[in-house]
Structure formats: C-alpha cells, structure tokens
Structure 1
C-alpha cells in the first residue's frame, strides 16, 4: 500500500491492520511520535490526517491510504505548526518532553481549524495527557499563537 507522509509517498509493507504508529516508527524510522498507552487515551501518538488530530496507536494504516499524514518531523513545514513550535519554546512548555510531540500536533490541529480559540475551545481540544503537568504552559502557548 502507498501512503503520503510529510508530503512524500511511501510504500508500506506492513499489514493493513497495523497501527499507523508502528508503521511510522518501525518501518519508516520516524521516532518523533511517541507510544504512550496504546489505547488512544494519552495522546502521545497524535498525528494529523488531512489536518485532523488522530491517535495513531489505534489507527490502522489501511484506513489512511490516500490521505495526507503529517508527523512531528514535518510540523514546522506548516506555517501554523511553526508558530506553535515557536510558542512552545518561548513559553518553555516541555519538562520531560515525552508527550510534547503529540501536544504540538493537537495544538496545530486546533489552530488550523480555529485560529482564535477561546479557553473552552483550548480545553476541549487539548485532551492529551502530560505527566509533568505542563497544562498551564501548554494553554499559554496556544493562546500566544491565537493572539498572533
């Protein structure tokens, strides 16, 4: 099967029901997206599929054929993604950093859909877990991007 990841076509040899996360990490060697829980609860594995945030640990690769997949490795190629990363750095969001690729992806998806989210929109969209508890810094970074 062929998939488009970060703007490049890739031929995938893994079975169609293999979670996208493992295809990205194990077959293609892109390790920026993390494994957290394996049940779509924590969000460490968040990627964008046609601009929508998805949990790649439970998304079969066969279900995304023909769609545009974006991983953390290419998020700064997107203008909104670049601004999110800059805000993450400016607000010193990461502590351990493990969940941050998923957090950045979720924030980018939100801001691509709603460039001026209110606090409720941010809370509703940013459901990824952060074991270090950097939620206030995450919200501040999202607000910084939203304010322009």
Structure 2
C-alpha cells in the first residue's frame, strides 16, 4: 500500500489500494470553534438566542450546560440546528445564568461560555401611574 498526501491542506493521507481505488484518511483533530456564543442582556418576558459551532475530525457534537449542569430542554428552552442554536423564550429570572457550549469528538473537547443577564427595568415593572389629584399647598 503506497501512501501519498492527496490534500495536504486538509491533512488527508491517501492510500492506493489498487489502480482503481483510493482510500483517504483524515487524522483526528480536536474541536475548534468557528462561532462562539455571545453574552446577552434581555428583558424579562423577551427571548434570547445563542449560537455555537465547531469543526474537527471527526465532526464534533455539541452539548449545552447551564451553570455547569446539563441543560434541560423545555417549552421555553429549545435546541435546533444539530444543537448549534440555543433559543430561550419568555425569559424569567431563572433563565439568568452562564450557558456553556461544549464541542466533543474522539480527539478531544473544547468549551465556550456566555452569560444571559436580565435587564433590571423589566424586573421592576412599569412606572407607577401619576397621582389622580395633584397635592395643593395651603
């Protein structure tokens, strides 16, 4: 079996099995992020979206943690696009946290974090209405 590099930019090594077939093998590579989640500040009742993607060999899979614990998906917390997008709707104080994106494959793992903060104005509620009667001074 002869070994020739057929695509050095990708690091693939190809082996000629016969005159008619070639087998290419890509060496394992740990995950590297191509997109990191960004910290956000959103009002209560609003929505937030975090995106995280990574490449590697083999292709990494993505998992999400909330404050260091495996994220629970619910009606307001959803994962899509092969777990690369985390969406939170109807944000409540319980959603304020550090969200971690973990990319894993057989060659290793990598992690990136972002914080979701709730805007204070949304927690205080609306401004009180003006008084019905203006106080008068005697």
- TM-score under structure 2 normalisation? 0.21
Q: Where is the helix percentage greater, Structure 1 or Structure 2?
A: 1
Q: Where is the strand percentage greater, Structure 1 or Structure 2?
A: 2
- TM-score under structure 1 normalisation? 0.20
